[in-house]
Chains A and B, each alone.
Chain A
Amino acid sequence: MEKTYYYPEDLKKFGSVREFQPELGEKFFNYYNSVFKEGALTQREKALIALAVSHAVQCPYCIDAYTSGSIEKGATEEQMMEAVHVATAIKGGAALVHGVQMMNKAKSILM
């Protein structure tokens, strides 16, 4: 077993997940590549969404890939940080909105 869970060079090996299950792996990558093609959203908009999600799911591989990807697609540093703040707001907001549940429960059991 490796001494650490994350190696930067493993990002380049992503495609090798096909080795243990070629059919599903192939389907995933075909889907993945289609998702990131220019569509109703531009490739840059998609890269920025991916960057935000990468932070929300705290995936270092994805942060590596979509920081480069966003810059290549022409995003500025300011736009990238705003994308990260969107992820932060949603993650923070998701925790905070459950405060309503806490309040409901508290009010139901307190005099």
Chain B
Amino acid sequence: MTTMRSLQGQGHHLSDTFVQLDVLNNHHAGIPPFGARMEAIGLSPLKPTAIDTLQVNIGKMCNQTCKHCHVDAGPDRKEMMTREIMEHCLDILRHHAIPTVDITGGAPEMHPEFRWFVGEIRKLGKHIIDRCNLTIIRANKKYHDLPDFLARHEVGVVSSLPHYVAGRTDRQRGDGVFEASIEALTLLNRVGYGQEDSSLQLNLVYNPTGAFLPGDQQQLEADFKRILKEQYQIDFNNLYAITNMPISRFLDYLLSSGNYQAYMEKLLESFNPAAAQGLMCRNTLSVSWDGYLYDCDFNQMLDMKVNTLAGPHIKDFDLEALTDREIRIDQHCYGCTAGAGSSCGGETV
């Protein structure tokens, strides 16, 4: 498996969130402000409906350096959530009726406190999602028992597999990733994930391997199910089709490949008011490794902290103020409103 350095590790200008926002706002022609589109359909200001999911990004370290990664994660990223911040998250979960905790990274399993954190969340009776890159399970002996651990704690697994053609997956996620992912999926199936008679959920994420939008989620799911079963005897529950956001490394790809303008136009052309209604930022709250709160994981990566009077840090958590906040939007939000919509759980329409 080969890896490249993160944008931050390269000292790339796009690792600066101000530069990304400047590109998104000023480096294309004819893309109206996202806010104006939302205003035209009566969704301005954009307000939350509830907080159903606490998405906790526990660190940016990853064993992969995927070309489209909006986190700019990689082996060279060392940011990790402290136990103190995790305790704050647990405290909030203990005192509020937030049913789901979505743990992400980086590769969250690389965090030394990952298993402790999962165990503590389970004690609170919350549903847990682990955004697992699959290859981590095979990356090192110490992770080989992850399928058993996750199954024991009834953790739902959500894993990226951008294509059932090995070359397509490897071009985005690194050489050898497809083969290692198939091995990991086999191990997850073996402990009951994705099986008909099991409650252990294994959901795959399809995201386009280039400058195009995802096709119909149902059709893609049917293709993935048929081909993964026929060729690799792999089962899974659902496929989530997710649009690539024009930020971070995917933004770098769009700019360097000359696809940026056309991609933004495509997102604009595909703006769907129904998808705007169901935006995930309306029922999710995202926490960064250093404890700041964001409307979504993408706003987190653009360092657009929540806009509340109570303050943007988890130490300032105030459910009432957060439920009443105005969600921050910018040009990247066109990614979540295109076509059938896009969220961490796939289509929204």
Distance in angstroms between the alpha carbons of A42 and B213 in the assembled complex: 18
The answer to whether A71 and B220 have CB atoms under 8 Å apart is no
How many interface residues does B have (CB within 8 Å)? 13
The total of chain A residues at the interface (CB under 8 A) is 10
Cβ 8 A contact of B215, one of A12, A72, A76: A72
Residue among B168, B208, B215 with max Cβ neighbours from chain A (10 Å): B215
B208 — which chain A residues lie within 8 A by C-beta? 71-72
Do the beta carbons of B220 and A68 come within 8 Å of each other?
no
For this complex, 25 residue pairs linking A to B, each with C-beta atoms less than 8 Å apart, are A12-B265, A42-B219, A43-B215, A43-B216, A43-B219, A44-B215, A44-B219, A68-B212, A71-B208, A71-B210, A71-B212, A72-B208, A72-B212, A72-B213, A72-B214, A72-B215, A73-B215, A73-B216, A73-B219, A74-B215, A74-B219, A74-B220, A74-B223, A76-B165, A76-B168
Give the one of A12, A72, A74 with max B CB within 10 A: A74
Which residues of B, 190-214, contact A by the 8 Å Cβ criterion?
Answer: 208, 210, 212-214
Q: A76-87 CB contact bits vs B (8 Å, 1 = yes)?
A: 100000000000
* Cβ contacts B214-256/A at 8 Å (1 or 0 each): 1110011001000000000000000000000000000000000
Chain A 43-56: CB-based contact to B (< 8 A → 1; otherwise 0): 11000000000000
- In the complex the two chains form, what is the Cα distance from A60 to B305 in whole Å? 45
Docked CA distance A88–B213 (Å): 29
A43-B216, A68-B212 known; 12 new pairs, CB 8 Å cut-off, are A12-B265, A43-B215, A43-B219, A71-B212, A72-B212, A72-B214, A73-B215, A74-B215, A74-B219, A74-B220, A74-B223, A76-B168
A-side residues, CB < 8 A to B, are 12, 42-44, 68, 71-74, 76
Q: A39 to nearest B CB, angstroms?
A: 13
In angstroms, how far is the closest chain B Cβ from the Cβ of A84? 18
Q: Report A-chain residues with C-beta under 8 Å of the C-beta of B219.
A: 42-44, 73-74
Give Cα A99 to B168, complex, Å. Answer: 42
- Give CA–CA (A52, B333) in the complex, Å: 35
CA distance A29 to B307 in the complex (A): 45
